[in-house]
Amino acid sequence: KSFINERGAFRRGQSAGSFITDMRAKGLTYRRTDMLADWRSINELERKEGAFRFVRKDYYPTKTVIAEVEWSLSQEYMYKVKVESRLRPDDPMTERFVNIMSDVPMTPAMVEQSLIEKWTDYEEYTAEAIEKVTAWSAVHKVME
């Protein structure tokens, strides 16, 4: 499945029907029902990308902030967190996004705390000092 193509098509304002037609012409198609479900999920993600960062740290996000997708995630909620870190104080800042999975809804403060706990669990991150953590977006898995 090509989510990158779908995101680009959505950003250009292309309709789902014309996207499916274009993908068929390129030989890149799959079951129409699945393709439309993915289209709805990508549409949700694009509309709500970055909205979670504006939720107060001690508040649970509302449905207007959480993107609902029909993907098979390992847990019910997935939170995208932007992490700024560096190996040494004189090194340039490294930015990356990390996903935090959860079975329960979380506040931005809970997501950030979960990331800090996860950060120390993995050896590859132990040498890096976290400079800034920003809870970026939230995804909720809905039943298909």
CA proximity to 130, closest of 84, 89, 70, 91:
84
Task: Answer yes or no: are the C-beta atoms of 101 and 77 closer than 8 Å.
Answer: yes
pTM score, whole prediction? 0.80
Distances, alpha carbon 3 to alpha carbons 28, 43, 47, 111, 144, in Å:
12, 11, 15, 25, 18
pLDDT at 1 over 50: no
d(CA 112, CA 106): 10
* Averaged confidence pLDDT in the chain: 86
How big is the CA angle at 48 (ends 74 and 112), to the nearest 5 degrees? Answer: 60
What local confidence, expressed as pLDDT, does residue 91 receive? 86
Give the pLDDT confidence of 99-113 residue by residue, as tens digits: 999 999 999 999 999
How big is the CA angle at 42 (ends 38 and 44), to the nearest 5 degrees? Answer: 115
d(CA 110, CA 113): 5
Which tokens go with 81? 């967190």
What local confidence, expressed as pLDDT, does residue 114 receive? 92
What local confidence, expressed as pLDDT, does residue 122 receive? 63
32 vs 120 pLDDT, higher one? 32
Q: Say what percent of the chain tops pLDDT 70.
A: 90
61 vs 143 pLDDT, higher one? 61
pLDDT at 51 over 90: yes
Give the pLDDT confidence of 16-32 residue by residue, as tens digits: 888 888 888 888 878 88
What local confidence, expressed as pLDDT, does residue 63 receive? 93
